[in-house]
């Protein structure tokens, strides 16, 4: 049974993780997709495969996260894993909801806004002990194993590799925009989490 934290705490954490997933999904269609910017983490690979396979991103996202969460059960606690599954399900749901959203096609605005919004939203989800994708779980595990590096640094490193691997199909503008956006997201995540830790701001305990 999930008796720690209390039932009310589970409901609050699930709702806040879902809110973060909604913001990230909105950000993807509003600022990233119109400007050819890859979303961070597993979302980048999901977006590429979705375009190549001509399949809905919501479906691809759900299928891609399942095996990673199953493997992650061995390395992270049940509480974090359950809230991460909630985040992934909400991501797939909101990606479907916002699918018809008209975005803002401006490279500079999209690059900066998408990075800052993703960083704040991902940090928000992590503060409530959840995640929104499989690679978020991987980065949290790596940050625990190597505490001198923050979650944001691991995310940026993995995301950079993804962009470089996919660079041949993205083009120069999209590759640069994706790297800048992911860098801003990684820095924002680490700064938000560091400030929260310094102030003793620990949610869901």
* Average pLDDT of the residues in 93-114: 91
If one counts the domains in the chain, the total is: 1
pLDDT value, residue 75: 67
Whether residue 24 lies inside any domain: the answer is yes
Q: What is the pLDDT of residues 43-82, one digit of tens each?
A: 667 766 776 777 776 677 677 777 766 666 666 677 877 8
Q: Is residue 50 part of a domain?
A: yes
Answer whether 0.75 is exceeded by the pTM.
yes
pLDDT at residue 204, as a whole number: 44
Q: Is residue 1 part of a domain?
A: no
Q: Each residue of 156-204: pLDDT tens digit?
A: 887 787 777 666 666 778 888 888 998 999 899 889 988 888 877 654 4
**Within a domain: residue 186?**
yes
d(CA 39, CA 37): 6
Asked whether residue 203 is assigned to any structural domain, the reply reads no
Report yes or no on 2 lying in a domain: no
Identify whether 185 is part of a domain: yes
Look at residue 84 and tell me if it is in a domain. Answer: yes
Domain that holds residue 100: 7-198
């Amino acid at each position: 049974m999930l008796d720690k934290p209390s039932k009310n705490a589970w409901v609050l954490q699930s709702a806040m993780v879902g809110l973060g997933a909604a913001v990230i999904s909105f950000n993807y269609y509003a600022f990233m997709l119109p400007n050819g910017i890859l979303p961070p983490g597993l979302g980048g690979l999901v977006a590429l495969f979705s375009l190549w396979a001509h399949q809905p991103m919501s479906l691809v996202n759900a299928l891609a996260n399942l095996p990673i969460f199953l493997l992650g059960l061995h390395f992270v606690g049940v509480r974090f894993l359950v809230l991460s599954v909630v985040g992934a399900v909400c991501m797939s749901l909101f990606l479907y909801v916002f699918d018809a959203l008209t975005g803002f096609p401006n490279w500079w605005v999209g690059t900066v806004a998408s990075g800052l919004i993703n960083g704040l939203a991902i940090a928000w989800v992590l503060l409530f002990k959840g995640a929104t994708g499989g690679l978020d779980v991987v980065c949290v595990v790596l940050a625990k194993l190597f505490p001198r590096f923050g979650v944001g640094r691991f995310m940026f490193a993995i995301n950079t590799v993804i962009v470089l691997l996919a660079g041949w199909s993205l083009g120069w503008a999209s590759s640069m925009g994706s790297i800048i956006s992911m860098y801003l997201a990684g820095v924002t995540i680490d700064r938000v989490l560091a400030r929260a830790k310094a102030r003793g701001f620990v949610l869901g305990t």
